[in-house]
Structure 1
Amino acid sequence: MKINSTEIKNLEPIKTIAVSHLGDYSGIGPAFEKLCVWAGENALWAASPRMAGVYHDDPTHIPAESLRSEACLEDLSGIEPSEGMKQYTISGGKYFVMQVEINMSECGDAWKKVYDTFNEKGYEYDMRDHYDLYQSCTGDMEDPDAPWVVDLCIPMK
């Protein structure tokens, strides 16, 4: 894992099409796969939409099987979501953002690092969306070891 930057930013809300996931956050992959197939079938990739994972619950206080999350694709087309999908707007506002370069197996470690850094600085959370925003993949997206540039976003008071 490589940390590119850490900063406080005022982020704009992001309108998305989302697929909800219930269970351990590491199991959100099939929700992203469903979104990706749907985006391909609807020729949405040409607009270069970003993808994000939104995590609603604190895994240190909620059992893994009850964790709620959203796999999101930025809605640049205004297309209606298909069955099993919904429109979802990721919250904007003041965020602590750590940009990292990781492969998918490093996601958990990256989130631990951003929360450790956030807490060490004495910042306070609020109840808006905690999310990761995928900026780019610098390799073959089918390769689980391909490096991704990801913004890890924690809402601040």
Structure 2
Amino acid sequence: MAMFPVHIRETSPRRLAALRHTGSFEEIGATFGQICQILEERSLLSQAGCMIGVYWDNPLLAPPGALHSHAGIDLPEAMEIAPPLEELRLSGGRHAVLQYTGPYSGLARAYRYFFSQWLPEAREIQAEGPLIEIYRNAAMETPSDQLVTEICVPLL
């Protein structure tokens, strides 16, 4: 099984402008598109930070139609978040961070490595809370083989 770099770090709290997504995690891209369009219409997109996916459910335990997630964008504290966007605060804390480079279609392999190999070998325990994907570059302007995604898993 392919290996991916994983390190443990303390993550900072984040404030996101977010939209709820229900359904397959692979289909969250359209929800990210809606957020970008709303922020662009409000002339706020240029002040936004990274796009962040917040995944609340385990896709191995829930059917795709019952999966809940949020598509979010990091925003400065002073920026207003008005409907239909909602404010979502992530508490931060100790996380294992796997860095994956490549097309989003390969993320499942990175998750398999993390949960079946890295986590048991590292003797770490996943804590309660969502898994977070931080998209370090934008799919619209980056070749798919150069996309960088950080998968952040909360740890005890």
TM tier relative to shorter chain? 0.7 to 0.9
Alignment partner, residue 26 of structure 1: 26
Q: Paired residue for 2:61?
A: 61
Figure out how many residues of one structure are paired with residues of the other and give that number.
Answer: 153
Greater share of strand residues, 1 or 2?
Answer: 1
Which letter does structure 2 place at the counterpart of 1:149? Answer: V
Over 3 Å counting, the alpha-carbon distance change for 1:45 and 1:80 in structure 2 is closer
In the superposition, the TM-score normalised over structure 2's length comes to 0.86
Task: Quote the residue 1:113 is aligned against.
Answer: 113
| Structure 2 CA distance for aligned equivalents of residues 112 and 8 of structure 1 | 18
- CA-CA distance at 1:50 after TM superposition: 0.7
Deviation at 1:115, TM superposition (A): 2.3
Post-superposition CA distance 1:79-100 (Å, at most 9, x none): 22332x2100123100000112
Worse-matched range after superposition: 70-79 or 87-96: 70-79
After superposition, the Cα gap between the structure-2 partners of 1:39 and 1:119, relative to the gap in structure 1 and judged at 3 Å, is farther
User: Relative to 1, partners in 2 of residues 1:91 and 1:102: Cα closer, same or farther, differing over 3 Å?
Assistant: farther
Q: Is the 8 A contact 2:52 2:135 kept in 1?
A: yes
Q: What's the TM-score, normalizing by structure 1? A: 0.86
Q: Which runs of 5+ in 1 are unaligned?
A: none
Q: Secondary structure at the match of 2:115?
A: helix
Structure 2: unaligned runs, 5 residues or longer: none
Matched residue type, 2:69:
S
% identical aligned pairs: 24
Aligned partners of 2:108 and 2:27: how far apart in 1?
A: 12
